[in-house]
Amino acid sequence: MGMFIAIGVLSLIFGLLFIVAPSILKNLNELTNRMAVNIEEKAFTYRFGVGISMVIASLLFFFVAYYIKIKG
């Protein structure tokens, strides 16, 4: 259950960043480009769709964690 909450929080944070503050994500992208990970430019092109999808995914993860807590 804790894993679902953690994934939900991360998804919510990144989803909101895609919608509200894409410049922060671009700075993180530049930082990660120096490492081994590369964030796709298409994600920034379709940032509203990606952001809304991530917020919806986070709500789904929160619901699954809540459901497991209630039923389990």
Q: pLDDT band at residue 66, thresholds of 50, 70 and 90? A: very high
Residue 37: is its pLDDT beyond 70? no
What's the average model confidence in pLDDT over 22-27? 87
Contact 69, 8 (CB under 8 A): no
Q: How many CA atoms lie within 13 A of 40 on its CB side?
A: 6
pTM metric for this prediction:
0.68
Look at residue 12 in the predicted model and tell me its pLDDT: 92
